[in-house]
Structure 1
Amino acid sequence: MHDHAAEPSGAPCGHADHESVLDRAERLCRERDLQFTRLRRDVLGAVAGQAKPMGAYDIAERLSGSGKRVAAVSVYRALDFLTEHGLVHRIASRNAFVSCGHDHGERDGLLFLICRSCGGIDEMTSPAIESQLHHAVAEAGFTPTSRIIEVEGECGACRERGGPPGH
């Protein structure tokens, strides 16, 4: 997975590493006077440490150690908190979560490019797409609660490894 901040061209930018995701979360929780509990930190750390999106049951399994079980319901509560504060994003088509190391405005639309071959996900924003989306929903009289677009296909690395599409 790659996390990308807003770029004027809509092009992706650099990958946010595991530590920067956790550091950002700690800073954000301090600034907003929020509780960054051990479980929330562990859940975010588990998601940030993976290259692919993770489901709640996978996270619970990863966090469960010898003699210690972490309930999926607890993981879901932590994910709700992390999602609400922009620290993770839910990939609806996968019912899974990816970490985010960038600050997004409430009105920023996110575009996830999901590779069907390797399962990798690139996150980016695109002012051009966001502008068109804003216009379309306003014209329809619709007020979105989420501005996430998921696009499935094949990433450049997989295309290079496999040759031309369809072969």
Structure 2
Amino acid sequence: MFTIEKAAVRSITDADFDVVAAIFGHYVEHTTATFETVPPSTTHWREKAEELAGRGLPFLVVEVDGAVAGFAYAAPWRTKPAYRHTVENTVYLAPEWTGKGLGRLLLDSLVERCRAAGMRQVIAVIAGDGASVALHRKCGFTEAGVLRNVGFKFERWLDTRLFQREL
């Protein structure tokens, strides 16, 4: 039986990129949680982790019994210099690991690492109104607005909701 105490959050390593690509690929192909339409490669994830590390930003995974069950990272919100203390977060769990508290463990850890990196604001861009909204609310994010019909996937227009947390 799973208990949250069996989970551990750590920084991503080279051994994790295939699993991260597979987890994200599921969401690309089967959900509107991401507006990507083609799953990014393992190389993409390796390059993203290197870029974020170069900026001093976290890219984390959560493990259960030694296996990666999900990932989270913070990336620059915008490229203009005035936004340099604001990041956008991303959190994804393998489908079989949703609803067990791992998302909260990841997001709480990510927020703390963002604070340690000198960030002041964390933004979440969320499609839909499901588990991700509930997760972000539990982790202290507040809704900042809705962007209507900004994405088109699976033959339908989709809104995104913006959430924000001050650190």
Task: Judging by fraction of residues, say which structure has more helix.
Answer: 1
Larger RCO (CA within 8 A; separation ≥ 6) = 1
Decide which structure has the larger Cα Rg and report it.
Answer: 1
Give the TM-score normalised by structure 1: 0.33
